[in-house]
Amino acid sequence: MRSYCALYVDVGYLLAAAATRVTGTSLRKGIVVSYPDLVARLIKDAEVASGLPLLRLHWYDSGNRPGGNPDSTQEAIGMLPRVKLRLGRTSPQGEQKGVDLRIGLDLAAHGRNRSVDVIYLLSGDDDLSEAVEEAQSHGMQVVLMAVPDRSGKPHAVSRHLIREADDLIVLDGAVVDDTVHVRQLQPETEVPLPAVAAGVAAAVEVPLPGPRVPASPVPEEPKPAAAAPRPTPAVLAGKVPHSPAPAAAAPGRLVWSSASDGIATGERPAVAPVVGQRELDLIDEVCRGVIATWSITASATDRTRLMSQKPFIPGDLDRALLLDLSARLDRYDVEDHLRFLLRDHFWEQVRQLDR
């Protein structure tokens, strides 16, 4: 019987990691993707790495229509050659449901059936560790694929998952850079947030990674014909005012959070731990990046809705905040006191934007 390899793609991980490489934050709304090109590049990498033809690429995502049904983009992906669409569903709070379970069940079933000789798993989710072990128990090789960050290191892959897998390979950064791009600003007549309007006047992309563009003053009467390059979200993040820094003499301070979005669990710590300056700086960096990327595509209605929901943070923004902080701290789980602090700083940054 002919030997094959298979590729399992955890789309949530892939797009969050790709967005982080391109924009500096994991918010998926900040990117546009050429899916046919991306799929073709992933298939080629799996075949080159294994030396075997690909039997099938399994595309795991949550259906974007009610009942877990695919939207038009997902339907088009499912029509690509050798691609099997495997969808979970999206909860009313925007959370993915059933995606990890589908990956785990397929790993176990394909391991028992010996459908392929090696499975390449493009994911970083620690919850898949037991499913990897199950597939291996039936003689299957399971190799992790990771998206590289800007330094070329694997982005946000659980150490436990790495230990359980047979190997870890990092994709060529060009796979992402050639197929995933910063979303362009769509023109609108509504007035954007003041701090964002200073740098977002046109819809011309500036590719990342690259040096920061120095801030320039906002003309009092901008000329409609002027079409300067639009800074990327990472550049905008550098232009958002920083939160007031603690006194230099204090290495850390006690913090609490009053924010709650209805998604995260856990009670506010009775005694808040001391948070170091490095963690505070990373939290501010994450908040600025997420807000800057979100502001690129947010309409005036979106901004008004965000403020009206305070202190509840929309699910996509909250997930991006937590994923980005986890990656910055190089810790898979973020402690509760840091989650509370992160959400407090998010609203502080939003208040500064709206001044």
Domain ranges, ordered by start, for the chain? 5-180, 188-353
> Is the pLDDT at 211 greater than 60, yes or no?
no
327 or 255, which is more confident: 327
186-190, 201-205, 286-290: least confident range? 201-205
- With beta carbons less than 8 A apart as the criterion, state whether 19 and 128 touch: no
92-96, 167-171, 207-211, 276-280: least confident range? 207-211
Name the 3-class secondary structure at 236.
helix
CA-CA distance, 279 to 142, in Å (whole number)? 35
Sequence-distant (6+) residues with CB within 8 A of 124 are 10, 13, 17, 144, 146, 154, 155, 156, 157, 158, 161
What is residue 139's DSSP assignment?
T
Instruction: Please report, to the nearest 10 degrees, the dihedral formed by the alpha carbons of residues 273, 276, 281, 284 taken in order.
Output: 10
pLDDT at 50: 95
CA-CA distance, 273 to 278, in Å (whole number)? 14
> β-strands 83-90, 96-97: how paired?
antiparallel
Over pLDDT 90: what percentage of the chain? Answer: 50
pLDDT at 217: 44
206 or 140, which is more confident: 140
| pTM summary value | 0.71
**CATH of the domain spanning 5-180, picked from 3.10.20.30, 3.40.50.1010, 1.10.600.10, 2.20.25.10:** 3.40.50.1010
| DSSP3 helix / strand / coil % (the chain, rounded to 5) | 45, 15, 40
213 or 30, which is more confident: 30
> Is the pLDDT at 260 greater than 60, yes or no?
no
